[in-house]
Copies of this chain bind each other. A is one copy, B any other.
């Protein structure tokens, strides 16, 4: 038998889902007949609604409310699926998830965390728009917390991040699998975990395939379309130009498309291109559609919520967990 839902209770007691919610949550000011209240409570009991963890949380005066504190995930187009994964995992477990966007302002962030603590939030997800090392705000001290797309320097707090090395390897192996031996890496100038990890994965894949690592095939620029255009122009102007490019992200890959068009090179016949991020506006918008490597945003959000709830409920997870999730290949039409 599947999990009993509020819909089942509503069906059995012959009232709306809203009424069930009013009765079971003791919402004040609702005119609901006592007989109806009894019927709803009996139906919930008979069906075994209000799973044991919910009942325990009520007893322990837990609010069943989590907060996701982030810099700017909700307001930028990059990592929204992280929020979706967190929201859906919370909802499935019967918890409420609030989002607070701090715009990376530490003073505002501290005030918001304070306000949430006063409102009895049981735990926090501390999330960043892209994978980075963070200093966990002091205001979170003593609260159950999980880092989402971030790690702390001392690793004292559970965290989940994408497998940047594995993702770089996956992208490069996809190009090798198609027979390419001169593979350029259009990378990013920022010294962040993604830059270091993806380069490491690129080199590992070359090494495993017995291909030499040629530094002249790695060109760094800003992590946007302009940067990708500029870096690709450099790579394609070499006498022995690469036949395939691994681009740090999909925006840089978009720049690689522009550079190829300038030179009259067709993708993928004359040049294969693979991106990173699976930014759908770009990857689905380019022609040919862009083969890329996805960040596991949804899965990271879900993992973080599940781990946070387990920690709040006191399940022994054997110390802080640090999880690294796979970045899968999303094959489209830009590699041949």
Q: Mark A116-143, 1 if CB is under 8 A from B, else 0.
A: 1111000000000000000000110000
The reply to whether B27 and A117 contact each other, CB–CB distance below 8 Å, is: yes
Assign chain A's interface to a size class. 35 or more
| Stretch in contact with the other chain, from A93-101, A182-190, A237-245 | A93-101
Q: Does A107 contact B (CB under 8 A)?
A: yes
Q: How far is the CB of A13 from chain B (nearest CB, A)?
A: 16
Q: Does A170 contact B (CB under 8 A)?
A: no
The reply to whether A75 and B65 contact each other, CB–CB distance below 8 Å, is: no
Question: What CA separation (Å) do A251 and B287 show in the bound complex?
Answer: 13
Question: What CA separation (Å) do A65 and B111 show in the bound complex?
Answer: 13
Q: Does A74 contact B (CB under 8 A)?
A: yes
The reply to whether A83 and B111 contact each other, CB–CB distance below 8 Å, is: no
Copies of the polypeptide in the assembly: 2
Name which residue of chain B comes closest to A5, CB basis. B107
Question: What CA separation (Å) do A87 and B108 show in the bound complex?
Answer: 11
List chain B residues, Cβ under 8 A from A112.
Answer: 96
Question: What CA separation (Å) do A87 and B91 show in the bound complex?
Answer: 23
| Stretch in contact with the other chain, from A41-49, A50-58, A278-286 | A278-286
Q: Does A323 contact B (CB under 8 A)?
A: no
The reply to whether A99 and B100 contact each other, CB–CB distance below 8 Å, is: yes
Which residue in B65, B83, B255 is a CB contact (below 8 Å) of A74? B83
List chain B residues, Cβ under 8 A from A75.
Answer: 80-81, 83-84, 87
The reply to whether B22 and A114 contact each other, CB–CB distance below 8 Å, is: yes
Q: How far is the CB of A334 from chain B (nearest CB, A)?
A: 14
The reply to whether B97 and A100 contact each other, CB–CB distance below 8 Å, is: yes
Question: What CA separation (Å) do A282 and B77 show in the bound complex?
Answer: 11
The reply to whether A285 and B225 contact each other, CB–CB distance below 8 Å, is: yes
The reply to whether B101 and A98 contact each other, CB–CB distance below 8 Å, is: no
Q: Does A261 contact B (CB under 8 A)?
A: yes
Q: How far is the CB of A211 from chain B (nearest CB, A)?
A: 31
Question: What CA separation (Å) do A118 and B25 show in the bound complex?
Answer: 9
List chain B residues, Cβ under 8 A from A72.
Answer: 84
The reply to whether A110 and B77 contact each other, CB–CB distance below 8 Å, is: no
Question: What CA separation (Å) do A91 and B280 show in the bound complex?
Answer: 32
Name which residue of chain B comes closest to A101, CB basis. B87
Question: What CA separation (Å) do A21 and B112 show in the bound complex?
Answer: 10
A-B contact pairs, 8 of them (CB 8 A): A6-B107, A74-B74, A74-B83, A74-B99, A80-B80, A224-B285, A225-B284, A251-B285
